[in-house]
Structure 1
Amino acid sequence: MARGNRVAGIVASALLFGAVSGGTMVGVNVLADQHRSEIVASVNELTGQGQKESTSPIQKTVAKDNNDSSSEKTTTSGEESVSKIAKEAMPSVVSITNTIKYQQNGFSLYGQGQTQEAAASGSGVIIGENDNELLIVTNKHVVEDSTSLSVQFVDGKSYDAKIKGTDSDADLAVIAVPLDSISADTKKSITTATFGDSDALSVGDQVVAIGNALGYGQSVTTGIISAKDRDIQTENGSETGLLQTDAAINPGNSGGALLNMQGELIGINVAKYSDTTVEGMGYSIPAKKVQEIVETLSKRDTREKVKDDERGYIGIQGKTVDSSIAEAYNMPQGIYVYKILKGDGIDNSALQEKDIITKFDGQGVRSLEDLVSLISGYKAGEKVEVTVKRLSAKGQYEEKTVEVTLGKNSTDNN
């Protein structure tokens, strides 16, 4: 510390002497050169500069002198600038376009109740590949009700994608693009995201969000972790364990990347849960939870909707137990089975009336629409596991997984 004060005194003396007397005497230049040599030698001795190689993992940044040792701030060498993180992460983030068909109510020049198409935008993150497919994680609500999906990569080229698996409980989905459909140039331009440790985050840590905001293309925002383990209420129920950030997360950012300052993926952004009535409250699904779910979804077979005459049916009449019903009657969310139906080839004997279906073939479902959408990719005769919550003799719901054989439909029900 004494040596540091000595160096600081030398610097101050040199500056003062130069400011007052600079240019008035030839001897000043000689004296200044002597001081400069002494300063350089002392500073090099203190900081280790001038050595051939530095082994210190810490980079130091000296702030303006406030006569306080706390003005010297340090950052780990592993942290990057926002611009560098964005540049390196952009190749792993994609834009997703979901084409949806919907029924328009009322009358038009062409008759009553016309079917229309609309395009919705979202984002996704490349997480890996298997032998045949490039795998991308996004939000389930980004790809729901899809009639077709396309993915645009960082080079601006778009390719068709298919849904590989979804989880309504977590609002996550994995979609796949066939590797043989992707050009060599596009393959060179893209990268795979590296997962970081979302548990290691602290409130106040800086983060970077990247996504297809408002469908205009990839954009970058930055902020901090405002809170961890946030539980919030949405129209579809409660979402738990979310990261809260003040980085701007707008419509179209859903499914995009939340990155730490090492450029690692620590969350999947969920614009759907962002509050439009206030500023600075966005949410992200932590990477730890994402990894656990996509690990399972990535191993699934990629399914397409089957023809109506081949489609399998589970043989139930059900009703959606949404968040309001679940809260009012202390029930789990899912599909309430109020009638068991029979059909050609259907074996649903393991199901019981009053069961609440929460998963179909390992994929979380929260509504009858979720279940119908999933079953549309399965053929009659296939055996699937169905997870239900069932009332016990003690009046408590217990989780059970049963096997059901899908059959052909003899009614208009699932």
Structure 2
Amino acid sequence: MGENEKKEFHFINEQIKKKPFYRRKWFTQGAAAIALALIFGAAAGVMFAIVQPWASNQFGKPDEPTQIVMVQEETHTQETETGQTEQKADDEKETAKGRKKNSKETDAIEEYRMHYDQMKNVVDSAENSLVKIKSYVAKMDWFSESYENVTETSGLVFRVDSNWLYILTSSRFIKSAQQITVTFPDGEVADAAVRRQDTVTELAILEIPLKSIKESTIQSISAISIKGISSVEKGEPVIAVGSPMGYTDSINYGMITSITECEDVDGEYKVIATDMAASDMSYGFLLNLDGNMVGIVAQKFKQTGAADTLIALGISDISYLLEMLAAGRSLPYTGVVGKSVSADVAEHFSVPYGIYVKKVNTDSPAMYAGIQAADVITEINGESVGSMSEYEDILRKYQEGDTLKIKVRRKSIGGYADVEMKLVMGAR
């Protein structure tokens, strides 16, 4: 038999068929479970049908449950509507209050802004009177090399006459200066010289020839009046201009916290304390809200232990001094630091009425005349003295070189004794 005639041979001729689902394990188990459930259900039904009549006969039938009916009150809707109305009214009130509060806050902010705008207007009006002052001092360092020390502060145009322009500033910043320059608000710069200065109050007047200043600059500046301002009160708002923060062109706002009388050489001064911060380099001028000058910054008069706040001398007590400095005249000098002894104090402490001498300056006319601390000055050239203001007024009648007859009362073992001495007036 040829190869083509060979028949195919298969080892397995049977075909494998899948097992029917009803013969599978899951089907048989499910069917058994259903059958058992039907059997148990039928048994339970039969038992209930047998037991229920028997239980009714034995225990009786249960009472019908009482039906509770909730009756809605007719006012509920009205109360709801009333509550909604009241809530709406309350909401409207709260909204109105909120609007009113916001309105008040807005008004307060606007009022606050308005106050500061008004104070800024005062500062702006004073700008034409303020100048910058630079003093130049040549010094030597440790290596014998020279250098120039420059100090800057502020000044105030005090007076302008036909030939000179006078500027008020502090003597602290121009000591030993070889050159002093003044810069005006329009940027013009001019050299200045010291006309007169006072070491007690540290006030100084500079002078500049008008011919050295441009006409446009002269027309643009103005002097602040210092006359007629004699009363300032504690709690009054003030504005500091010049160099109150220790550098030029600075400003500050505050109020007067105290006004005290301070004794110094040959006088008594009104010292104005403020709540504005200050430093050793602070200088400037206090203005009231009307733009009038009420004080000149003088940190020298700050009390020991007090806070570092701006201190000023009341302008009313130093107007005469400024006039004398501007006139180039010397101020009377005795070297006495005294305190007024009032009639009440004199009676209570058995001290003579007059000027109690607290201190006598070294190398002063008072020391050379023989006046001592604890003496009480009662007369000068026959005029009785009862207060420091009277003492100042009497001294202003005399000039340097005049001889004064001073009568004092000096305490001794047997009480106070009268002592007369001669004092030759000096100048400061």
1:301 shift after superposition = 7.1
Q: Compared with structure 1, are the counterparts of its residues 141 and 388 closer, same or farther at alpha carbon in structure 2 (3 Å cutoff)?
A: farther
Q: Distance in 1 between matches of 2:167 and 2:405?
A: 34
Residue 126 of structure 2 corresponds to which residue in structure 1?
89
Deviations for 1:109-145, whole angstroms, at most 9, x for unmatched residues?
44xxx66531222222112122211111122223222
1:193 shift after superposition = 0.7
Q: Compared with structure 1, are the counterparts of its residues 80 and 201 closer, same or farther at alpha carbon in structure 2 (3 Å cutoff)?
A: farther
Query: Which of residues 253, 269, 294 is equivalent to 2:282?
Result: 253
1:94 shift after superposition = 1.6
SS in 2 for 1:199: coil
SS in 1 for 2:230: helix
Deviations for 1:70-121, whole angstroms, at most 9, x for unmatched residues?
x9xx9xxxx98111001001111122112234565xxx444xxx66531222
Q: Distance in 1 between matches of 2:147 and 2:401?
A: 34
Query: Which of residues 400, 407, 417 is equivalent to 1:385?
Result: 400
Query: Which of residues 254, 278, 281 is equivalent to 2:309?
Result: 281
Structure 1 window deviating more from structure 2 (329-338 vs 216-225): it is 329-338
Q: Compared with structure 1, are the counterparts of its residues 117 and 399 closer, same or farther at alpha carbon in structure 2 (3 Å cutoff)?
A: farther
Per the normalisation by structure 2, the TM-score is 0.51
Residue 270 of structure 2 corresponds to which residue in structure 1?
241
Q: Compared with structure 1, are the counterparts of its residues 252 and 90 closer, same or farther at alpha carbon in structure 2 (3 Å cutoff)?
A: farther
Query: Which of residues 133, 137, 154 is equivalent to 1:100?
Result: 137
Q: Distance in 2 between matches of 1:85 and 1:401?
A: 47
Q: Tell whether 2:292 aligns with 1:264.
A: yes
Amino acid across the alignment from 1:248: A
Q: Tell whether 2:194 aligns with 1:163.
A: yes
Residue 13 of structure 1 corresponds to which residue in structure 2?
none
* Runs (5+) with no aligned partner, structure 1: 1-15, 21-62, 66-70, 303-319, 324-328, 339-350, 357-383, 405-414
SS in 2 for 1:283: strand
Q: Compared with structure 1, are the counterparts of its residues 258 and 201 closer, same or farther at alpha carbon in structure 2 (3 Å cutoff)?
A: same
Amino acid across the alignment from 1:219: S
1:165 shift after superposition = 1.1
1:167 shift after superposition = 1.7
Residue 205 of structure 1 corresponds to which residue in structure 2?
236
Residue 221 of structure 1 corresponds to which residue in structure 2?
252
Q: Compared with structure 1, are the counterparts of its residues 321 and 276 closer, same or farther at alpha carbon in structure 2 (3 Å cutoff)?
A: closer
Query: Which of residues 122, 143, 160 is equivalent to 1:129?
Result: 160
Q: How does 1:176-215 map to 2 (within 5 A)?
A: 176-195=207-226, 197-212=228-243
1:243 shift after superposition = 0.6
Amino acid across the alignment from 2:400: E
Deviations for 1:132-177, whole angstroms, at most 9, x for unmatched residues?
1111112222322222211122122221111111122222111111
Q: Compared with structure 1, are the counterparts of its residues 332 and 353 closer, same or farther at alpha carbon in structure 2 (3 Å cutoff)?
A: closer
Q: Distance in 1 between matches of 2:266 and 2:310?
A: 17
Q: Is the 8 A contact 1:138 1:172 kept in 2?
A: yes
Q: How does 1:275-354 map to 2 (within 5 A)?
A: 281-300=309-328, 331-333=359-361, 335-336=363-364
Number of equivalenced pairs: 269
Q: Distance in 2 between matches of 1:225 and 1:397?
A: 43
Amino acid across the alignment from 2:221: I
Amino acid across the alignment from 1:193: I
Per the normalisation by structure 1, the TM-score is 0.53
Q: Distance in 2 between matches of 1:334 and 1:131?
A: 41
Q: Distance in 1 between matches of 2:255 and 2:271?
A: 14
Q: Is the 8 A contact 1:321 1:335 kept in 2?
A: no
Q: Is the 8 A contact 2:245 2:277 kept in 1?
A: no
Q: Compared with structure 1, are the counterparts of its residues 83 and 197 closer, same or farther at alpha carbon in structure 2 (3 Å cutoff)?
A: same
Residue 145 of structure 1 corresponds to which residue in structure 2?
176
1:257 shift after superposition = 1.4
Amino acid across the alignment from 2:209: P
Residue 408 of structure 1 corresponds to which residue in structure 2?
none
1:400 shift after superposition = 3.8
* Runs (5+) with no aligned partner, structure 2: 1-91, 97-102, 339-356, 373-398, 411-418
Q: Is the 8 A contact 1:93 1:154 kept in 2?
A: yes
Q: Compared with structure 1, are the counterparts of its residues 248 and 90 closer, same or farther at alpha carbon in structure 2 (3 Å cutoff)?
A: farther
Amino acid across the alignment from 1:385: E
Q: Is the 8 A contact 1:121 1:252 kept in 2?
A: no
Q: Compared with structure 1, are the counterparts of its residues 276 and 391 closer, same or farther at alpha carbon in structure 2 (3 Å cutoff)?
A: closer
Q: Which has the higher helix share?
A: 2
Deviations for 1:247-291, whole angstroms, at most 9, x for unmatched residues?
23444432x211000010111112455589875621011111231
Amino acid across the alignment from 1:100: V
Residue 374 of structure 1 corresponds to which residue in structure 2?
none
Q: Percent identity?
A: 20
Q: Distance in 2 between matches of 1:321 and 1:201?
A: 28
Q: Distance in 1 between matches of 2:164 and 2:288?
A: 27
Residue 30 of structure 1 corresponds to which residue in structure 2?
none
Q: Compared with structure 1, are the counterparts of its residues 301 and 149 closer, same or farther at alpha carbon in structure 2 (3 Å cutoff)?
A: farther
